[in-house]
Amino acid sequence: MSGLWEIDASVSPGREILADGSGQLLVRVQITDLDNADPTANAFIDLRSTCARRLALEILAAADDADWQTEQDGCSEPAR
């Protein structure tokens, strides 16, 4: 298991067709393994904007919790 990952988000080239026939752009979330030069090691998913926001908020909450637990365990503060 590698230790260096990068997460990027951008507007996806994909669209979802809504019930009224209109289109909604999606958010592409891509995860890249920086320790692996093979481009097939990258993963991505296209999400509705509401799902992308929820995921972002959950990642931020988990990061805050990890920082808090690190502090409680007496570990040094992680670099930001």
pLDDT tens per residue across span 10-65: 999 889 998 999 989 999 999 988 888 787 888 999 999 999 999 999 999 999 99
Residue 19 vs residue 1, higher pLDDT: 19
Q: What pLDDT, on the 0 to 100 scale, is given for residue 74?
A: 77
pTM of the model: 0.69
pLDDT at 1 over 60: no
The Cα 25–Cα 9 span in angstroms is: 13
Angle at Cα 57 formed by Cα 43 and Cα 24, nearest 5°? 65
Q: What pLDDT, on the 0 to 100 scale, is given for residue 24?
A: 92
Give the number of other Cβ atoms within 10 Å of residue 1's Cβ: 4
